[in-house]
């Protein structure tokens, strides 16, 4: 089911976000043009670094303080 969810998400991104905002899903596709064009594209590139790190930290904290406690309570 995880593969299906990821696939549907990518389909929705491709159908909705890319035509409207020019969203790039591939970091390599974002870094290259941003480095060469500079300006506004380069100033927004920090989000491709910060957002995944923030998501990873949030997921780790959620697992540690929510799901692990539920697992201990069941055992």
- Residue 7: pLDDT over 90: yes
CB 31 within 8 A of CB 48: yes
Q: How far apart are CA 20 and CA 22, in angstroms?
A: 6
The per-residue pLDDT for range 12-25, each reduced to its tens digit, is 888 988 888 777 77
**Residue of 42, 6, 39 whose CA lies nearest to 25:** 6
Confidence of residue 72 (pLDDT cuts 50, 70, 90): low
pTM for this structure? Answer: 0.57
The per-residue pLDDT for range 29-38, each reduced to its tens digit, is 888 888 888 8
As a whole number, mean pLDDT of residues 8-14 equals 89
């Amino acid at each position: 089911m995880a593969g299906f969810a990821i696939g549907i998400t990518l389909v929705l991104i491709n159908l909705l976000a890319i035509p409207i905002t020019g969203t790039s899903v591939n970091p390599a596709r974002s870094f290259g043009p941003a480095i060469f064009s500079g300006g506004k594209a380069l100033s927004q590139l920090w989000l491709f670094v910060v957002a995944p790190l923030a998501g990873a930290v949030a997921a780790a904290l959620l697992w540690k303080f929510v799901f692990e406690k539920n697992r201990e309570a069941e055992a």
